[in-house]
Structure 1
Amino acid sequence: MKPLRVGMRFSKSAQPTGLPIRGISRAHCRMTTLDEIRIALGSASEPGPGIVIETSGTTAQAKRVRLSAEALRASANAVHARLGGPGQWLLALPTTYVAGANVLVRSVVADTEPVVLESGPFTAANFARGVESMTGRRRYTALVPVQLARLIEGAQYDSGIRASVATLDAILVGGQASGEQQLARARELGWNVVVTYGSTETGGGVVYDGVPLDGVDARIVDGEIWVGGTTVATGYEHVDGSVDAELTQARFPILDGLRWFRTDDAGDWVAVDSGVGETLRVTGRRDRVIISGGIKVSLVAIEDTVRALPGVTDCLAVAVSDAEWGHRPVLGVEVSAGTNLSHAEIENAIESRLGRVSVPDRVFVGPLERNANGKPDAGALLSRARG
């Protein structure tokens, strides 16, 4: 039996029955169903064929990743063990990506029926209604940071939203960096926010609040984060379904009898006082450092600086070619309703922390265009900067 293709393009004649056919665009992707996930998982004694799922393609071209049924099941069990036991999930993310697909996987493993958020734009009111319709003893959801920002903003004006969200036992937030200010505001509202780290290749989020899940190992190799364990994918495939052996061997080395994924993320271990020893700190993509006028400029450091400003809900820095400097940063900044944040304030904050060379040539303040997974769309920001 072939693995389930998740997030692939379909032809009109192929929908909605059968598995999604192969393709390269998500523009016409059909959502994966719970029944399809049940078939892909099989049972613990007789595993199914697993899934093939595309990466989000945020920082590079999207890749097709093979995740076995055993890896998917191991991830679900480890997540439930960390959160306090199986529960009911609220699906608020597209199932064409690993975070949404994992909500279905966890539901199948827990033998629960997920609540699916109303279709249409994500709003705090719709999310609260979804939470209120949940019936499980333990209740979970998974979000990206921009969704959390929308909930925080909604809770400022509606105590009912605040109370509804607080009934969730855990809110997993991953997808990209969440600002410390945003996390602190959510926790002040009484919400149990768990910051997750991982990727499609690791089977989704596998490090929770800096601590790897059971069965997952993480190490720093020459400044790069490597993730290994039972949740890691078996590798990449070509469009025709054959194994991409060259890329798989390069990114999934076998070390000490364990399959690892080289994340291309930079990080280190930080000592903490909470009794867990050290926690993993992700410092950014290793490929998100540009040379501008002979000086290294970190796009991640620019984003971290701006995220700490009051009222900033999200931001994205990209690099554009420059005949004189080589490359220059451009920045998109999204702020909450009622926030008056000037270009000068943004530029002064960056210059005071990172130096004049890190100040972007252009700053766009307003809603960020996003891909299907809710992440800021780097390509759209680049097009705007070049236009």
Structure 2
Amino acid sequence: MTGSPPDGLRMLAVPTGPAALDVLPDLEQALSGGHPVLPYAASAPAPAVPDHDPATLPDGLAVVVGTSGSTGTPKRALLTAAALRASARATHARLGGAGQWLLALPAHHVAGLQVLLRSLDAGTAPLAMDLTDGFRPQAFVAATTGFVPGARRYTSLVPTQLLRVLDHPGGTEALCGFDAVLVGGAAMPPRLRVRAERAGVPVVSTYGMSESAGGCVYDGVALACTEVAFDEDWRIHLGGATIAHGYLARPDLSAQAFGTDDDGVRWFRTDDVGHTDPRGRLRVDGRVDDLVTTGGLKVAPRLVEEAILEHVPGVRDVVVVGSPDPEWGEAVCALLVLEPGAVHDVTAADLRARLRDVLPDHALPRRSLTVPEVPTRGPGKPDRRAVAALFTVG
């Protein structure tokens, strides 16, 4: 399962499904001060470890976890045992106490990895669903029968998984048996949240990334060990005990993204922009790189996506991107997935008519396409590059 580069950083091949639990001893050793590990999917070749000076690694390093790689070559965040334990304990404190977790995500990504690490820190035995044929809602429902009676029940899902389970017979009942269903990896559409809550599912929207040891803001409120700040461009900065100590073998990128303030608090400069709502809760408006500049004005795709899902009947899922346009610089484009059984297509003209009193004129979509499903990457995130390519002409 493991291999060892010369400095002792161990490569950790992580299987899918129940076999993922086989790596628990390796993770426990890493959390306890043993050799740090670099998890990767067992189905893929072991990644090359870039040359680096072992002396530059932080004390207490436990896990080196890859980022999602949405802006280029994936980076590898350096997470200490202290950061991971702080994240696990703050999570359990927010959710109402330690419990048993069901793994429904790939455990080499930070969200799935944290299911295992939280279990180790709490001394509970996690469950893992069968992912042999990918995520199947019937397998998720079946896995929920393995919980210890009386234990608090937790799981982490991406929005697409939540939707599929809600659509499956018996899925809602299974979800309602949890004490918390964390939903992250991508924005949870407001309509999906309303549907889940009306069904009695205890959903918790999470925000975070590999560099913050996973989710560190729950339902817009930072965990006890986390701070949130904004710069003059409304870029989100995250600080606190869960922040990584930079990137493996990338001191240049580490210097750009990480820092420590005068009080000794570590900070990470995210690639997201956002604001606080009237209740003081964090609202993430989207990635800096995803902003669409049309006619000299900036548009946050997430705000357009939420408006479409709320105000345009028949739309099941949507991703908004920018596409080069000779007149506007970029055109706002919407890739749509319609509800099952929809008999009418939804055109850009339909979208503009429905949203004209909801969004400013410059944010109204100028192009639209309908597809069976949204292209995804990593743990269920929309692949915006692939979506943008669908709107490229010629």
TM-score higher than 0.5 here?
yes
- Which residue number corresponds to residue 333 of structure 2? 330
Stretch moving more, 286-295 or 101-110: 286-295
- Which residue in 1 is equivalent to 2:162? 148
| Structure 1 segment 49-128 matched on structure 2, within 5 A | 49-119=61-131, 120-128=133-141
Confirm or deny that 1:196 pairs with 2:206: yes
Partner of 1:165: 175
Partner of 1:294: 296
1:37 is matched by which residue type in structure 2?
L
Does 2:29 correspond to 1:39?
yes
Conserved 8 A contact 2:206-2:218: yes
Tell me, yes or no, if the aligned pair for 2:14 and 2:107 is still in contact at 8 Å.
Answer: no
Partner Cα separation in structure 1 for residue 314 and residue 122 of structure 2: 38
* Counterpart residue type for residue 318 of structure 2: C
3-state secondary structure, aligned to 2:207: strand
Distance 1:30 1:132 in 2: 22
On the 8 A contact 2:294/2:362 being kept in 1, the answer is: no
The normalised TM-score by structure 2 is 0.81
Alignment match, 1:373: 379
Alignment RMSD (CA, Å):
2.6
1:245 maps to 2:251: yes
3-state SS of paired residue (1:147): helix
Tell me what 1:283 maps to: 285
Poorly superposed stretches of 4+, deviation over 4 Å: 28-32
Which secondary structure state, in structure 2, belongs to the residue aligned with residue 343 of structure 1?
coil
Given that 2:331 and 2:366 are in contact with CA atoms closer than 8 Å, whether structure 1 keeps it comes out as yes
Distance in 1 of aligned mates of 2:309 and 2:64: 34
How far is the alpha carbon of 1:351 from its aligned partner?
Answer: 4.2
Deviation at 1:339, TM superposition (A): 4.1
| Alignment check: 8 A CA contact 2:33 2:62 kept | no
Q: 1:70 to 1:335 in 2, by over 3 A?
A: farther
2 CA distance for matches of 1:376 and 1:306?
16
State the alpha-carbon separation in 2 of the partners of residues 213 and 35 from structure 1. Answer: 28
Counterpart amino acid of 1:286?
V
Cα distance change on mapping 1:141 and 1:215 into 2, 3 Å: same
In 2 relative to 1, CA 233–51 (structure 1 residues): closer, same or farther, beyond 3 Å? same
Cα distance per residue 1:184-237 (max 9 Å; x no partner): 110111110001111111111001111111111112222222111100111112
- Between the aligned partners of 1:266 and 1:382, the Cα distance in structure 2 is 20
Corresponding position of 1:232? 243
Paired residues in the alignment total 351
Instruction: State which of 240, 258, 265 in structure 2 corresponds to 1:258.
Output: 265
Partner of 1:218: 228
- Which AA in structure 2 matches 1:289? L
Q: Which runs of 5+ in 2 are unaligned?
A: 7-12, 37-58
Greater Cα shift, 198-207 or 373-382: 373-382
After superposition, the Cα gap between the structure-2 partners of 1:68 and 1:17, relative to the gap in structure 1 and judged at 3 Å, is closer
The answer to whether the Cα contact below 8 Å between 1:42 and 1:49 also exists between their aligned partners in 2 is no
* 1:321 aligned onto 2:324: yes
Rate the CA distance shift 1:234–1:76 in 2: closer, same or farther, 3 A: same
Q: Distance between the aligned counterparts of 1:336 and 1:245, measured in 2?
A: 47
Counterpart residue type for residue 303 of structure 1:
E
> Cα distance 1:360–1:19, how it changes in 2: closer, same or farther (>3 A)?
farther
Q: For 1:84 and 1:98, how far apart are their aligned partners in 2?
A: 22
> What's the CA shift for 1:295?
3.7
CA offsets, 1:54-87, max 9 Å, x none?
1112355422211111111110111011111111
Identity of aligned residues (%): 37
In structure 1, the residue matched to 2:354 is 349
Residue matched to 2:9: none
| 2:268 match: secondary structure | strand
* TM-score, reference length from structure 1: 0.83
CA distance in 1, matches of 2:66, 2:255: 18
Aligned equivalents of 2:314, 2:158: Cα separation in 1: 18
Q: 1:192 to 1:40 in 2, by over 3 A?
A: same
User: 5+ residue gaps in structure 1?
Assistant: 1-15, 22-27, 273-277
Alpha-carbon distance change, 106 to 311 in structure 1, aligned in 2, over 3 angstroms: farther
Is the partner of 1:235 in helix, strand or coil? Answer: coil
Name the SS of the counterpart of 1:50 in structure 2. strand
Q: Which moved more, 1:319-328 or 1:246-255?
A: 319-328
Query: Could you tell me which residue of structure 2 aligns to residue 7 of structure 1?
Result: none
| Structure 1 residues 348-377: Cα deviation after superposition (integer angstroms, max 9, x where no partner) | 334442326631323233211211311111
Rate the CA distance shift 1:360–1:107 in 2: closer, same or farther, 3 A. Answer: farther
Please state whether the residue corresponding to 1:186 is helix, strand or coil.
helix
The aligned amino acid for 1:140 is Y
